[in-house]
Structure 1
Amino acid sequence: MKKISTKISLIILIGIIISACNTEKRVPDGKMRLTKNRIIVNDKRTSEENAYNQLYQKPNSTFILGYPLRLHLYNLANLNPDSTYAAKFKNNPGLYERQSKFLSAKQVDRLGKSFLYHGIHDFLKKVGEPPAIIDSTKTAKSVTRLKYYYFNKGFFDVETSFKTDTINGKKAKIDYIIATKKPYFLDSITSSISTPALDSLYKVQKANSLLKSGEQYQTVNFDEEKNRVAVQFRNNGAYYFQPTYVNFNIDTINKVNKADVNMIIGDYTYQDRDSTRTEQFKLYKISDVNIYTDYSSTRIDNTINDSITFKNFNLYSHDKLKYKPHAITDAIFINKGMPFADFRTVLTTRYLNNLKIFNYPSIQYEVDKRDSTASSLIAKVYLTPRKKYSFGAFFDVTHSNIQDIGISFSPSLTIRNVFNGAETLSLSGRANIGSSKDLANPNNQFFNVSEYGADLKLTIPRIFLPFSTERIIPKSMIPSTLMAVGFARQTNIGLDKENFTGSVTYNWNPKRNNTARFDLFNVQFVRNLNPDNYFNVYGSSYDALNEIAQTYNNDAANLDTNGDLLINNGTAAFTNSVINNGTALVSTDDDFQSVKSIEERRVRLTENDFILATSFTFTKTTKKDLQDKTFYLFKTKIESAGSLLSLLSSTTNRAVNTDGNREIFNLEYSEYIKTEFDYIKHWDLSNENILAVRSFFGIAIPFGNSDNIPFSRSYFSGGSNDNRAWQPYSLGPGRSGAVNDFNEANMKIALSAEYRFKIAGNIKGALFSDVGNIWNVLDNVTDEKSTFNGFKSFKDLAVGSGFGLRYDLTFLVVRFDLGFKTYDPANETDKKWFRDYNFANSVLNFGINYPF
């Protein structure tokens, strides 16, 4: 009863606060606050976003259920806190004298500028929003803009007006009334181009014109046609051509809702001293390509001391030339003897910038005075080298769900143009020490977590192979090769691992927004240094094994003084006894299968892994830039591991070990095939409202030399970028209930949807729903609850939902998400939905940037 009364009181209090907020508090007498705009086109209300964007005045923004939160925040602010503070002492003259004796006159005056008296009101005004007062001048401008908006869509006879309706008190709405009448359509389309060379170019691609006879008039099509024609001409030698030279004569005389269009392109106009001259446009060719490899705008001495001509490119240097000629010329797409083309300039700039050994390049053109026809250009490429050596260091103090406190230091060294072929060599190291009370810590040390490692990476700006790949992957795709080796040693999960990695990777861009990556090989060797510590780390496995031992253990030497299994001797002895039928358990017993499953997992997570994989990854996106809110991204990957080693073993007739598996360096290697599909789609719903969805499917199938997937290549579920109602590794597999400490499997399905909206200023909100799980499939796991068994296993998809807050710092987004377990497949049949949908079982996630 007490809880119910408390909730009722809270609801009443919230209701009083909301009702007490007068939205017209700051509306002057005789004025109206705009609450709604409506655009009515031909007697029907429209929701077209572009039409509403023409309006100069918009109502106050609203939060959930139309609540004008920002307006209320603004109304809470004191617009004149200085006057209020001064009036406080004016009405009570003795108060200032008394406070001055206690503080000082200067401190009392400064108190008026404090956050309590002044700053809080500035904050409320900043994040809040003043009432949208109806302004008749802005309304008239909105009507005019709407008229031009529909005129530009082909409604030349459009009529516009508006009507203001008072709702009550000081609130009103505005109806904008549009009568479009009949639209105009394009009839005949002709061209008048005074330069014959341009006229010929236009006719070649006339079919690509954006102006089509019979289509409705659209001003935007004329603007885009100007740009299309300019791009075509400038990519075919017309260096001085600009879109402004394209004009249109639109004739509607004696036409009934039709318009004849004539595209007019006159002569080139330029200023020659005090005179304006005109001449026909010329199509220019490149006569020379001069590359200045160490240009500096601040250098006084511009003497060229070294130069070389290589494949019709002239390379110049103030000092000794430090680059192999092909390293630079491979990045230049402007060629001697070819017509001037804008796209070649853009492509050259992208490639040079991608080398990362120069600052942003500058490419300029000048008319070659040696050409008597004045139709040749000299291309000048100015390159300013970055510093050959760059040193960086990063120091950080962190706190996470694994470490109570962590201190890390990461130095790095970058060497550019290391072999004079525009290569970049990067050497980085990392060292971390931390403290965690959750991990096994038999010596009770404060800093019981540590990691250190180093990585060496060499980037080569071409496909590095003993044969040419130009026909398959031309240099226009900006290919590169990355060679990397790394080593890491960590003691942060209790088993103490050493990790050795090496890879050779090729990257290229088949198209502007497409990327391809081919890992010729990616090798990883993971060595567990302390496997005997397994049951100290994986406590849930130990608890399950120890509970069974309380009933079936028949050797007192396996137990400690409390009757629990000794780690590691007791656990190993009891497990061996069960599996070898040394206890009362038989293979058909559930407890026997549990012990066997625990042992299989222990062996898999403590055995050393050797992985030699080859993979291909393809990514396609329509995202143009960071401001693009409507786009999709598709990514797929296929990876094969161990097949090459098996082929070599078969051809060399290498013997198998006692388990029937082949080895390399006395170590069983992993063999599997893995594939992933990831699709992300964003919709811009206007007014900073975004709908984002993501779907992911991944599966790794062991075969040949393996009957399971290495831990480092398996999938997990839960966490800030996955199903946010569960912690990382705490969901699945299937409906098993996440009985292990770190739950993983070899198949994953994930679906997420998120509605993002603006709350106030840079504070954004989100409502989300996450669906997904992991399963074991086609491996050595036999637990029916954990395995995928066709369509009926889809009922094991977990559902999480919740809300989040984001603070947009422009360069990154700080994110907090609160996830609630909506459907938990591990619960009993009648307790799966909304059983744990409460704050006590919710999960707070912290992340940087959006989850997808």
Structure 2
Amino acid sequence: MRNNLSKITLLFVIGTIIYSCSLVKRVPESKKLLTKNEVFVNDELNKEDRVNNLVVQQPNTKFLNYPFGLTLYNTARPNPDSSYQVWLNKKPNRIKRLNQLLSPKQVERLGKSFFVSGIHRFMKETGEAPVIIDERKALKSKDRLSGYYYNNGYIRNKVSMTIDSVGNKRGKVVYKVTTGKPYFIDSIFKYIESPVVDSLYSIQESITFIKKGDQYNFSNFDNERKRITQYLRNNGVYHFQESNIKYNAIFDDSTQKMNIDLKIEDRYVKNGDELVKKTFSIYKISQVNIFTNNTSKKESNQFNDSVSYRNFTIYSAGKLKYKPKAITNAIFIEKGKLFSDNDRTLTSKSLSNLKVFNYPNIEYIEDPNDTTKTSLIANIYLISKPKYVWQPSFDITTSDVQELGISGRMAFTWRNLFKRAEIFELAAKGNIGSSKDLANPNNVFFNISEYGIEGKLSFPRIVFPANTRKIIRKEMLPTTNANISLTSQRNIGLDKENLTGVFNYSWIPKQKHTFRFDLLNIQFIKNLNPENYFNVYTSSYNTLNDLAQTYNVDPANLENGNLTTQGAVNFIDDVQNGVTSLSPSDTEYKTIRSIGERRIRLIENNLIVSSGITFFRNTKANLLDNNFYSIRTKIESAGNVLSLLADSKNEDLNQNGNKTMFGIEYSQYIKGEVDYIKHWDFGKKNTLAMRAFAGIAVPFGNAQSIPFSRSYFSGGSNDNRGWQAYSLGPGRSGGINDFNEANFKLAYSLEYRFRVGGNFHSAFFADIGNIWNIFDNITDEDYTFNGFSSFEDLAVGSGIGLRYDFDFFVFRFDLGYKAYDPGREMGDRWLKGINFSKTVLNFGINYPF
């Protein structure tokens, strides 16, 4: 035993030495690999990211405390092309033998192939070069730390920096900050030269960011400078700039207080060879000119048509192709109004929202005809996008249900259809795919096909009989959309035809807020091949077939000892009609009845006419912002209009005793959803992401259940990754059906994302959630939500993911495991799915949330 322990210890020591040496193999002599930065603030180690991220040089990225990126870089040969030439010339006859197999050019190209030199270039580009301690960058970090504490009120702070050796060609940089006492604002004085600016500033002086008694903070001064500038420029002070605002600070070191002088000087203008001061003035808009043409070269534009409309003058090269109101409704710069940056921004957004022009160019010039020199002429230059666009597209996709899909789409776009910036799009689409989830007796690879046609008409305004401008103002960028589509799905399954029509409105009441109101959403789903149900839902069939071996009494339902497709239907009827020995209290009876009810629900045709409103808020500032949240809420109601029409039409009730329209039982329900996403940025490309979702759809009136297309499922690459899509739930039932769904869902996901090296990223994740039946026709307690006790049925999936960032999209590969499986018996649920053989593979494009 002692000998074995000695051998293990020796192997561990040798491995540690080899590992330690391999990390510094690309570090030059007399240089040091940066292993750590330490920042001490007042003799205490500071671990705040906002402070440590000020250090310019950061150590190589580590995953599970191992520098994979650095190891990958070190593994690559520094000069693979030269190494190949050395290998070629190492033996005299090697080139001759290769030339007998390949041509001389092929031998030369072999050295540039991926397996000879390309793989090494890939490893160098994907990996991370060793971070060598650079004293100049360390000194720059020292200055940044000092500046940071200065800007936060520690005016007399002191920072020192030392580079310490921590082993062979390794080092760390230690920064020591002594902050001293903070300084506070004691008094504020203002000196404003222009009376106009002084008058405007006094109106909002009380909402300043700089307040007496506050600790000095540079960001408050910066924000105040921006606030003053925006306020003045939105109230007519055209020439005002941030640079016109200056601050002087007088420090009293004995009391750690400071007096602030706010100084706003008049602007300087050039008068010949001299710069002279000129007071600021308030400017008004005297003219608004709109130029529409197909060229961006304003000097070559020949405008031979013009129209005057509501104090706007519209010029055009050739006949004007737009109705004047369509353009002027999108313009907020108006004659007689004060100059305003907000009006210019709104005008740019609104014109871009029309989607018939490129981004507009807006310029202001002083009106030469105004003797007071306080008027501006606004010139707006618009370049039309092509009126007709023919856009083909081709995609290869994969999903949880469809292993491989090939789709194509041909779209024709017609801009400015009725000369009021309307956009009409007509598209034809088709898809063929392969799925293992569908019955495939002939073993056909492409066993899914779908084709359809879609028309969409978009209006850059609210189209409604009543005037809505007081409620939805034009600065909210309102849009009306009318869509209609018809698709036909053919596969070795039920086959469906789907007719959809949507009429909705969308608007932006304020920045980062969006509303969408579906006035009318119509969906008609027709199943073309319902008799093929048990060829598609094989799990349901297998359950019935197993039970039929014991309880079936009619040999006509069997063929070769197994249920026929129609025999499975007959067997369900026999059980419910009391022909078999099963009684309603038996578990097997309940299982068979549940399968029968589900079959009837999934093969029935659906007519859904709904209305709904969706609110969305997203605080994400830009693509690089990883510290934000978004929330989406939706309320939808279906069947109320049809209920009124059905009463007046007075059709006969169907076999279920429900009302119909055109012979089809219509759906009636109310549905609500909340989806919340939050990201925390920890720096160094480390992010914590969280998502919480809750949704419920309650049938009422003419319905006892929710249509399949409006129900919820759980599992899959964007949900609980420990289960495949549709395989989790409902409740503790164990996901026994082929496609498990219900009308109530709770979901929560937490994911820690971090960079491994190069463009490779990884994540640890945990997903919690399930689906249940509630307030519908399902009564089995294994499937239903039964109050707080049902929280024991929340499934927990966990795992690890690997992602590669291609800049324009992220390829995602997640390994999910069942950490807590509510489908198992109580006491046997935890960690039974944590096994490599039970890994659930999830592929996806971009992040799940």
TM-score range, shorter chain: over 0.9
**Aligned AA for 1:235?**
N
Counterparts of 1:306 and 1:681, CA distance in 2: 53
Aligned to 2:555: 556
TM-aligned CA distance change 1:17 to 1:626, over 3 Å: farther
**Aligned AA for 1:575?**
I
**Aligned AA for 2:142?**
V
* CA deviation after TM superposition for structure 1 residue 237, in Å: 0.7
Matched, 1:22 2:22: yes
Counterparts of 2:802 and 2:103, CA distance in 1: 43
**Aligned AA for 2:816?**
G
Q: Any unmatched runs of 5+ in structure 2?
A: 1-7
* CA deviation after TM superposition for structure 1 residue 650, in Å: 4.4
Counterparts of 2:602 and 2:585, CA distance in 1: 25
Q: Secondary structure at the match of 1:213?
A: coil
* CA deviation after TM superposition for structure 1 residue 822, in Å: 0.8
Counterparts of 1:223 and 1:299, CA distance in 2: 38
* CA deviation after TM superposition for structure 1 residue 655, in Å: 5.6
Aligned to 1:381: 380
Counterparts of 2:537 and 2:660, CA distance in 1: 28
Alpha-carbon contact 1:616-1:638 (below 8 Å) kept? yes
TM-aligned CA distance change 1:231 to 1:604, over 3 Å: same
TM-aligned CA distance change 1:188 to 1:792, over 3 Å: same
Where does 1:298-309 land on structure 2 (aligned, <5 Å)? Answer: 298=297, 302-309=301-308
Aligned to 1:797: 794
Cα deviation code 1:603-636 (max 9, x no counterpart):
1000111111111110112111111110001111
* CA deviation after TM superposition for structure 1 residue 307, in Å: 2.0
Counterparts of 1:456 and 1:145, CA distance in 2: 57
**Aligned AA for 1:684?**
D
Counterparts of 1:327 and 1:769, CA distance in 2: 51
Q: Secondary structure at the match of 1:708?
A: coil
Count of matched residue pairs? 841
Alpha-carbon contact 2:576-2:593 (below 8 Å) kept? yes
Counterparts of 1:109 and 1:150, CA distance in 2: 59
TM-aligned CA distance change 1:662 to 1:284, over 3 Å: same
Q: Secondary structure at the match of 1:143?
A: helix
TM-score normalized by structure 1? 0.94
Which shows bigger deviation, 136-145 or 194-203?
A: 136-145
* CA deviation after TM superposition for structure 1 residue 829, in Å: 2.3
Counterparts of 2:245 and 2:144, CA distance in 1: 25
Where does 1:102-141 land on structure 2 (aligned, <5 Å)? Answer: 103=102, 106-141=105-140
Alpha-carbon contact 1:721-1:851 (below 8 Å) kept? yes
Cα deviation code 1:567-593 (max 9, x no counterpart):
22x233332222222232332222222
Q: Secondary structure at the match of 1:408?
A: strand
Counterparts of 1:229 and 1:752, CA distance in 2: 43
Aligned to 1:565: 563
Q: Secondary structure at the match of 2:491?
A: coil
Aligned to 2:519: 520
Alpha-carbon contact 2:293-2:301 (below 8 Å) kept? no
TM-aligned CA distance change 1:291 to 1:757, over 3 Å: same
Which shows bigger deviation, 106-115 or 311-320?
A: 106-115
Aligned to 1:5: none
Alpha-carbon contact 1:21-1:72 (below 8 Å) kept? no
TM-aligned CA distance change 1:449 to 1:17, over 3 Å: farther
TM-aligned CA distance change 1:363 to 1:163, over 3 Å: same
Aligned to 1:61: 61
**Aligned AA for 1:41?**
V
Counterparts of 2:758 and 2:693, CA distance in 1: 33
Aligned to 2:754: 757
Matched, 1:218 2:217: yes
* CA deviation after TM superposition for structure 1 residue 649, in Å: 3.8
Aligned to 2:846: 849
TM-aligned CA distance change 1:836 to 1:287, over 3 Å: same
Which shows bigger deviation, 38-47 or 301-310?
A: 301-310
Cα deviation code 1:684-726 (max 9, x no counterpart):
0110000000000001011110000000000001111000111
Which shows bigger deviation, 462-471 or 578-587?
A: 578-587
**Aligned AA for 2:41?**
V
Q: Secondary structure at the match of 1:321?
A: coil
Aligned to 2:50: 50
Counterparts of 1:572 and 1:126, CA distance in 2: 61
Counterparts of 1:203 and 1:783, CA distance in 2: 70
Matched, 1:283 2:282: yes
Counterparts of 2:671 and 2:678, CA distance in 1: 24
TM-aligned CA distance change 1:335 to 1:543, over 3 Å: same
Counterparts of 2:703 and 2:620, CA distance in 1: 40
Where does 1:441-456 land on structure 2 (aligned, <5 Å)? Answer: 441=440, 447-456=446-455
TM-aligned CA distance change 1:645 to 1:102, over 3 Å: closer
Q: Secondary structure at the match of 2:831?
A: coil
Aligned to 1:357: 356
Residue in structure 1 matching 2:642, options 638, 641, 645:
645
* CA deviation after TM superposition for structure 1 residue 848, in Å: 0.8
Matched, 1:718 2:715: yes
Q: Secondary structure at the match of 1:465?
A: coil
TM-aligned CA distance change 1:186 to 1:763, over 3 Å: same
TM-aligned CA distance change 1:146 to 1:488, over 3 Å: same
Aligned to 2:3: none
Aligned to 1:410: 409
Cα deviation code 1:516-575 (max 9, x no counterpart):
111111011111111111111111111222222222322222221x1222222x233332
Counterparts of 2:87 and 2:445, CA distance in 1: 55
Counterparts of 1:566 and 1:757, CA distance in 2: 54
Alpha-carbon contact 2:400-2:724 (below 8 Å) kept? no
Alpha-carbon contact 1:295-1:382 (below 8 Å) kept? no
* CA deviation after TM superposition for structure 1 residue 595, in Å: 2.2
Q: Secondary structure at the match of 1:846?
A: strand
Where does 1:19-418 land on structure 2 (aligned, <5 Å)? Answer: 19=19, 21-64=21-64, 66-88=65-87, 92-93=91-92, 95-96=94-95, 99=98, 103=102, 106-252=105-251, 256-298=255-297, 302-398=301-397, 402=401, 406-418=405-417
**Aligned AA for 1:60?**
N
- Root-mean-square deviation (Å): 2.4
Aligned to 1:819: 816
Q: Any unmatched runs of 5+ in structure 1?
A: 1-7
Cα deviation code 1:431-463 (max 9, x no counterpart):
223455653356776654321111111111111
